[in-house]
Copies of this chain bind each other. A is one copy, B any other.
Amino acid sequence: MPAIVVLSGGLGGARFLRGLVEVVDPADVTVIGNVGDDLEVLGLYVSPDLDSILYTLAGLSDEERGWGRGDESWRALEEAGRFGGETWFQLGDRDIGLHLVRTEALRRGEPLSAVTAELPATDGRLRSRVQTPAGEFGLQEWFVARAHRDEVDSVRFEGGDEARPAPGVLEALDAADLIVIAPSNPYISVGPILAVREIRAALEGRHVPAVAVSPMVGGLAIKGPADRMLERMAGGTTPAHVTSCYKGLIDVLLIDEADEGAPLDPSVRTVVTKTLMTDAAARRALAQVVLSVGALR
């Protein structure tokens, strides 16, 4: 079966992956996930994007909230707050169960790539930091504690220069028949993956099609700050602005029907489809389009 590698952030990427593994054998899909958001909170190592993917694929996620576990409760965090612990980052009781096991394994010296179901872009410490008019912040501090209210002037990836791809990442890219960039935030979800020099180089030197799914629908983000970030840092939210984030890295951009007619990048093939993943059928249909565009179906 053809091998598919997907570069993915959290929410949107996770939903896309869920559709994808319903139309192809999950064993043929390798996910390279973003670790730029990772953080230590209450002594626990938390990997928000990898967890979103894990929970979504396992059918354990909270669909409505869009992050974290379904059937969740918040007792540990409530008590941690009572005893003076930090509570700005919402850790549910079930979620903590995973973090405890992974943190313990990491402290034993196991690499992140050994304790997650997906491949982290790197086992090294790579952290996204956003520059805003109010100063520089760690990604989650800005996103959660400051509710991503500050406009972002630029994103920098601490440790990006030294970061090596996690074991298996380059091998997967090398063996891929199709490379997909999921409908994730180009700056803070896919950006930290591409900040790993050898991953970017592998995409630049690819011999197989690379397809990105635009995270914009009618020039707006479904959730989160991607539209505001594109507006401020790329100058707009059209398909052409999205492709400007992936210069030399993609062959095809999938855009939503709502963006038809907006300026395109002539150097990239644009395919119009429905990208809104409102239900299981829509998720599967989008995955099918990606496969057919990649000439795999």
Residue numbers of A with Cβ under 8 A of B are: 42-44, 69, 72-73, 75-85, 93-98, 100-104, 107
Contact A78 B103 (CB under 8 A): no
- In the bound assembly, the distance between CA atoms of A85 and B100 in angstroms comes to 8
Contact A79 B102 (CB under 8 A): no
Contact B76 A107 (CB under 8 A): no
Would you give the shortest CB distance from A127 to chain B, in whole angstroms?
Answer: 19
Known: A43-B107, A107-B43. Contact between A77 and B97, CB under 8 A? yes
Contact B96 A96 (CB under 8 A): yes
- In the bound assembly, the distance between CA atoms of A127 and B103 in angstroms comes to 24
> Interface residues of A: mostly helix, strand, loop or mixed?
helix
- In the bound assembly, the distance between CA atoms of A219 and B102 in angstroms comes to 47
Contact B79 A97 (CB under 8 A): yes
- In the bound assembly, the distance between CA atoms of A234 and B173 in angstroms comes to 69
| 19 A-B pairs with C-beta separation under 8 A | A42-B104, A43-B100, A44-B100, A69-B79, A73-B75, A75-B75, A75-B97, A76-B97, A76-B100, A78-B94, A79-B96, A79-B98, A80-B98, A80-B100, A84-B101, A85-B97, A85-B101, A93-B93, A96-B100
Interchain CB contact (< 8 A) of A97 among B43, B80, B98, B107: B80
- In the bound assembly, the distance between CA atoms of A85 and B97 in angstroms comes to 8
- In the bound assembly, the distance between CA atoms of A31 and B85 in angstroms comes to 24
- In the bound assembly, the distance between CA atoms of A93 and B72 in angstroms comes to 11
